[in-house]
Amino acid sequence: MKQIVVSGIRSTGRLHLGNYLGALRNFVQMQREYNCFFFIADLHSLTTHPTAADLHGSVRAVMAEYLAAGLDPKQCTLYVQSDVPETTELYLLLNMNAYLGELQRCTSFKDKIRKQPNNINAGLLTYPTLMAADILIHRANLVPVGKDQEQHLEMTRTFGLRFNRMYGTELFPEPQAYNPQSPLVKIPGLDGTGKMGKSEGNALYLSDSPEDIRKKVMRAVSDNTPKAPNEPKSEPVQNLFALLRAVSSSDTVEFFEDQYQACTIRYGDMKKQLAEDIIALTTPLREKIEMYLADDRLLSDVAAMGAEAARKSAKETLRLAKEAMGIRKL
Ligand code: TYM
């Protein structure tokens, strides 16, 4: 039997290079080898209260981006989270055994409290239980995600194992965060510190034009040329190299590493090369995104087909979970 893979991306606008390199590119690689369920996490994006029009537009955009990246609805199940109500039912059941202390200690929750102190809603607090429900509803083994999701995966394992123990069942396997070719990645932003993110204003989007990409990359924070061989790299410089490693050939990376060590590096030249390599990666995607976005019929057919397959798998898990808990017809 093929192992089961589940992952999703929130519909909060267009996808950026971090989403692509940390997650979507791996989805595409895994679809042939595994039994894959990939979805658009529209319910998760409600924590920030998008307008109805924005939410719907973002869901369409992510579906078009999934298809443009090479996800094939004949090879994997592609669906919208809210089309599978079994997920929200499992979320309610899991919430009964998710404790306030552990939810409050979750790093992403603490970050949100800092960033949006006026909107600390219950959906944010229980974000990890909804994510656990997404994963456990298909009894997944592997979850391709970026490094920022590691703690959520750990909580998913805790909730699944706790359920198994409480109800004397082996229903839920222990899902692992996974990257097919390397350890989990964190793609940095262009502002010198931290990860690339939609809300950090430091992102390169798959749909950015070549001019936008050149402008953003040339403006990225760098540093002074090193003064002595083997000088440790500052964070902005490490970040530029991390981006280069993610998108450029190993020869290119080696070339600039040598120049850095020789203290002859010109960051302007490195950024020019980086921009061109990003453009080479995103141009074919950008063209396909436009094509899929213009095809409403295809987008809705793919979502309908995906919902049907995802619900079949989800219904069976939910039936078993409820049976284990004693939720039965009188
Ligand atoms: P989200 O929507 O923030 O991001 C989607 C995916 O992109 C990865 N990612 C990154 N990877 C590397 N570097 C970055 N700078 C970067 N930024 C984002 C994320 O790690 C993620 O894999 N909670 C999830 C969505 C979700 C989910 C799930 C994922 C909901 N249910 C079930 C897996 C399984 C999230 O907010 O990802």
Decide if 205 is inside a domain.
no
Count CA atoms within 13 Å of residue 314 on its CB side. Answer: 25
In whole angstroms, give the CA distance from residue 293 to residue 67. 10
The predicted structure's pLDDT at residue 198? 84
In whole angstroms, give the CA distance from residue 55 to residue 11. 7
Both structure tokens of 240:
């530029």
285 and 319 share one domain: no
Q: What CATH code is carried by the domain that includes residue 266?
A: 1.10.240.10
Decide if 197 is inside a domain.
no
Both structure tokens of 257:
């590493």
Active site residue 198: yes
In whole angstroms, give the CA distance from residue 276 to residue 75. 32
**pLDDT tens digits in sequence order for the chain, 330 residues long:** 899 999 999 999 999 999 999 999 999 999 999 999 999 999 999 999 999 999 999 999 999 999 999 999 999 999 999 999 999 999 999 999 999 999 999 999 999 999 999 999 999 999 999 999 999 999 999 999 999 999 999 999 999 999 999 999 999 999 999 999 889 999 999 998 889 998 888 999 999 999 999 999 999 999 888 998 888 999 999 999 999 999 999 999 999 999 999 999 999 999 999 999 999 999 999 999 999 999 999 999 999 999 999 999 999 999 999 999 999 999
pTM, two decimal places:
0.96
57 and 169 share one domain: yes
Decide if 198 is inside a domain.
no
Name every residue whose Cβ is closer than 8 Å to that of residue 307 and which is 6 or more positions away in sequence: 79, 80, 83, 84
DSSP-assigned beta bridge partners for residue 80: 40
Is 197 annotated to bind ligand? yes
The predicted structure's pLDDT at residue 275? 98
Active site residue 315: no
The predicted structure's pLDDT at residue 48? 94
276 and 319 share one domain: no
Q: How large is the C-alpha radius of gyration of the chain?
A: 21
Which of the residues 2, 110, 186, 195 is marked catalytic? 195
In order, the DSSP letters of 242-280 are HHHHHHS-HHHHHHHHHHHHTT---HHHHHHHHHHHHHH
Decide if 200 is inside a domain.
no
Residues 67, 288 contacting (CB under 8 angstroms): yes
318 and 180 share one domain: yes
CA-nearest residue, atom 6 of ligand 1: 19
313 and 280 share one domain: no
CA of 149 to the centre of ligand 1 (A): 6
DSSP-assigned beta bridge partners for residue 35: 4
Structural domain containing residue 254? 210-290
Which amino acid is residue 131, in one-letter code?
Answer: M
The predicted structure's pLDDT at residue 120? 97
95 and 31 share one domain: yes
Question: Does the CB atom of residue 185 touch ligand 1 within 6 A?
Answer: yes
Active site residue 312: no
Q: What CATH code is carried by the domain that includes residue 50?
A: 3.40.50.620
Both structure tokens of 5:
């893979």
Decide if 199 is inside a domain.
no
Taking alpha carbons only, the member of 149, 137, 139 closest to residue 177 is: 149
108 and 221 share one domain: no
84 and 153 share one domain: yes
Taking alpha carbons only, the member of 34, 28, 32 closest to residue 65 is: 28
Decide if 191 is inside a domain.
no
In order, the DSSP letters of 67-98 are HHHT--TTTSEEEEGGG-HHHHHHHHHHHTT-
134 and 14 share one domain: yes
For the chain, where are the alpha helices, taking DSSP H only? 17-19, 25-30, 52-69, 85-95, 100-105, 107-115, 122-125, 127-136, 150-167, 210-219, 235-247, 250-261, 267-293, 296-325
Decide if 143 is inside a domain.
yes
175 and 85 share one domain: yes
Minimum-distance ligand 1 atom for the alpha carbon of 22:
11
Decide if 203 is inside a domain.
no
Task: Count structural domains, the chain.
Answer: 2
Both structure tokens of 89:
């039912």
214 and 172 share one domain: no
Q: How far, CA to CA in Å, does 18 sit from each of 170, 243, 324?
A: 35, 10, 39
Both structure tokens of 51:
């307008």
Residues 239, 268 contacting (CB under 8 angstroms): no
In order, the DSSP letters of 205-218 are BTT--HHHHHHHHH
Residues 25, 9 contacting (CB under 8 angstroms): no
CA angle, 154 as apex, 86 and 38 as ends, to 5°? 45
Residue 40 φ/ψ, nearest 5 degrees = -105, 120
134 and 271 share one domain: no
CA of 145 to the centre of ligand 1 (A): 6
Secondary structure class of 308 (helix, strand, coil): helix
In whole angstroms, give the CA distance from residue 65 to residue 205. 11
